[in-house]
Structure 1
Amino acid sequence: MDNFWKGKKVFITGANGFLGSYITKALVGKNAQVFSLIYDDNPGSIFDEEGLWDKTRIIRGDVRDLNLMGKVLKENQIDTIFHLAAQPIVNQSVDDPLETFEINIQGTWNILEAAKKSNKIERVIVASSDKAYGHHDMLPYREHTHSLKGIYPYEVSKSCADLISQSYYRTFKLPVCITRCVNLYGPGDLKMNRIMPNTIKRLYYNEPPVIRDTSESLRDYVFIEDAAQGYLKLAEKMNPEIHGHAFNFAANSPLSVLEVINLISREMNKKIEPKIITGGFDILHQYASYEKAKNVLGWMPKYGFLEGIKKTIPWYVNYFDKLGKK
């Protein structure tokens, strides 16, 4: 697949976000022509760090603008779409569910509708989430046995976007595949309310890490470079036999929130008792199997959690050093 991407015209929504930055960087390195949809600036991101502003074609806009999406695909003869743009924060979805639904659901159907009207599209990859599964007693989540049944706004937005994507394949034979990633972590995630950057930040400033709801809740974590490679492998392997399919990108190695905080604290040589904040709108346990991705795509995570945080923590320490002490 060394020359697969050479000359491909790739449209990435949310290109300067956490995952988008890594996928954009990888595709630029593989000589694709990348068209980056940017809604908000993301200062300090990997997109900035890698100088991707000068290596891709920048399109300022909003996935909620259907006319713009159609124009971008038509004028640039786009053949591949990675739809990553989203409102990704659970608490924010509770504070403003309408905006979350507009971005995550309307934004997705706009991309799919624009793609349907294009005669150049060869592949569309839509980012769903393991949150789309909602609550299930039997874990890990598997694509063929676990239905999508989100309850809270963020989960529902991803369940809907996922099902709409499947519908566009079933109804219109649009060449679309869906990704359901577990929690992603690594250098460059600037959403400081997520557990990894938040814990590192609080420990850096000698503040107690925060446990929201319960220290016993289980989550699965995949290093960002592994996730980006998963997206590329999926796009490269897409064919009519897997159009309409969803794939979990996971580690199937669940950790409790307390275990995550303890491992980060140990790596940073900090001993500060966590602070527990009760309440919230998260499912208690969430983790997924990557068996299908392994069998169909040949993908599996390269980094274990300890290896991943060893690559992650120094990036944040350097980032906070640059910001200066509070």
Structure 2
Amino acid sequence: MHYLITGHTGFKGSWLSLWLTERGHRVSGLALDPLPGGLFERAGIGALLAQDHRVDIRDAAAVSAAITSVAPDVVFHLAAQPLVRESYAHPRETFETNAIGTLNVLEAVSATPSVSAQVIVTTDKVYRNVDREAGYTESDPLGGDDPYSASKAMADLLTQSWVKSFPAAPTAIVRGGNVIGGGDVSHDRLLPDLLASFVAGSAAEIRYPGAVRPWQHVLDCLNGYLTVADALIAGTGTGAWNIGPGRDSFVTVGELADLAARYWGGGASWSTADGEKPHEANLLALDAAKAERLLGWRNRLRFADSVEWTIDWQKAVLAGSDALTISRAQLAAFEALG
């Protein structure tokens, strides 16, 4: 089976590329250049790929040419501008990347006869957020106040419209939460920022320590994506799916920071950031009962284990261990939990 991943140089895309190649599949990618020091670069993911296209997802002609060249069996669309604060700084780029970029992929896939399934990745932030404690279900209204959330809701609605309006490969939309794991060097994300401060020996600054997020290890999230793709290939699985963490992972930003500092050791600490901060949702939670009930998917790692695995990966790499070997070992350990 030949898989194409858009955004394959990013954090989730790199792990997904590695996982699929470990399962014996051919994998190609379409993305911008990777951030320095991330999993893609450290683990040499590029050497594992059949084709590696460096394309701006906003360029419809380039996206079409790349997908035509690959002629994949299955497409995972992960490419996005994924950061809330970045969306305030560059709203036009965010809307064009997340909404129009998704349209470009959908259009190109519809014109590629080899594709038998496509998985469009959005986010938990597509839901109209009313800070309720019960998790949002797939049928809840979509919305978004900040440019990032609105742009991903637009991508989600655009996908729903496309598959109802035009010929399309069997399509699923997957909505995940905040993922953590080894090799994430994205700017303005909590755990990478914490670890960067811990490595530097400085106190990390936290914007909203009381905000609740549904933390999930990247392998649990990607296992959900793969489960949905397998269902599509088998002739089911279309529609929207929440791939969220268990209730034990619904903790505050401050609690995650405390746990990370304890696992890191060496006097690691954090403080609350001063100054004006842009709006971010105070509470986000997903109800993944549909995927658990209909697909048999479940989270395998507890919240504390997810944090520990992330820090173990980072410490091992800093100590000089090979990132590809560590990542393969964590993948094998995760699959053994199933």
> What is the TM-score of this pair, normalised by structure 1?
0.90
Amino acid at match of 2:137: E
- Greater Cα shift, 134-143 or 58-67: 134-143
Helix, strand or coil for the counterpart of 1:316?
helix
> How many percent of aligned residue pairs carry the same amino acid?
28
Q: 1:207 is matched with which residue: 189, 202, 210?
A: 202
Checking the alignment, whether the CA contact within 8 Å between 2:213 and 2:285 is kept in structure 1 is yes
**1:44/1:203 Cα in 2 relative to 1: closer, same or farther (>3 Å)?**
closer
Amino acid at match of 1:49: R
Task: Give the drift of 1:147.
Answer: 1.0
Amino acid at match of 1:51: G
Checking the alignment, whether the CA contact within 8 Å between 2:138 and 2:242 is kept in structure 1 is no
Q: 1:308 is matched with which residue: 302, 306, 309?
A: 306
Deviations 1:144-163 (A, max 9, x none): 44211111100001000011
Is residue 263 from structure 1 mapped to residue 263 from structure 2 by the alignment? no
Checking the alignment, whether the CA contact within 8 Å between 1:90 and 1:281 is kept in structure 2 is no
**1:206/1:76 Cα in 2 relative to 1: closer, same or farther (>3 Å)?**
closer
Helix, strand or coil for the counterpart of 1:53?
helix
- Greater Cα shift, 141-150 or 19-28: 141-150
Is residue 219 from structure 1 mapped to residue 213 from structure 2 by the alignment? yes
The aligned residue for residue 124 of structure 1 is 118
Q: Distance in 2 between matches of 1:279 and 1:197?
A: 19
Checking the alignment, whether the CA contact within 8 Å between 1:208 and 1:275 is kept in structure 2 is no
Query: Displaced runs of 4+ in structure 1, greater than 6 A?
Result: none
Deviations 1:283-305 (A, max 9, x none): 11111121111112211111112
The aligned residue for residue 287 of structure 2 is 289
Q: Distance in 1 between matches of 2:305 and 2:138?
A: 30
Q: 2:243 is matched with which residue: 228, 234, 248?
A: 248
- Greater Cα shift, 239-248 or 107-116: 239-248
1:94-243 equivalent positions in 2, closer than 5 A: 94-172=88-166, 174=168, 175-212=170-207, 214-238=208-232, 241-243=236-238
The aligned residue for residue 5 of structure 1 is none
Q: How many residues align?
A: 314
> What is the TM-score of this pair, normalised by structure 2?
0.87
Deviations 1:202-255 (A, max 9, x none): 13323222221x322111111011112111111001155532323333333311
Task: Give the drift of 1:58.
Answer: 1.0
Helix, strand or coil for the counterpart of 1:64?
coil
Q: RMSD of the alignment, in Å?
A: 1.9
Q: Distance in 2 between matches of 1:134 and 1:276?
A: 27
Deviations 1:167-187 (A, max 9, x none): 122222522111111000010
**1:235/1:241 Cα in 2 relative to 1: closer, same or farther (>3 Å)?**
closer
Task: Give the drift of 1:316.
Answer: 2.5
**1:287/1:41 Cα in 2 relative to 1: closer, same or farther (>3 Å)?**
same
Amino acid at match of 1:80: V
**1:204/1:74 Cα in 2 relative to 1: closer, same or farther (>3 Å)?**
closer
Q: 1:21 is matched with which residue: 1, 4, 14?
A: 14
Helix, strand or coil for the counterpart of 2:48?
coil
Amino acid at match of 2:272: K
Task: Give the drift of 1:257.
Answer: 1.1
Q: Distance in 2 between matches of 1:143 and 1:273?
A: 34
Checking the alignment, whether the CA contact within 8 Å between 2:121 and 2:173 is kept in structure 1 is yes
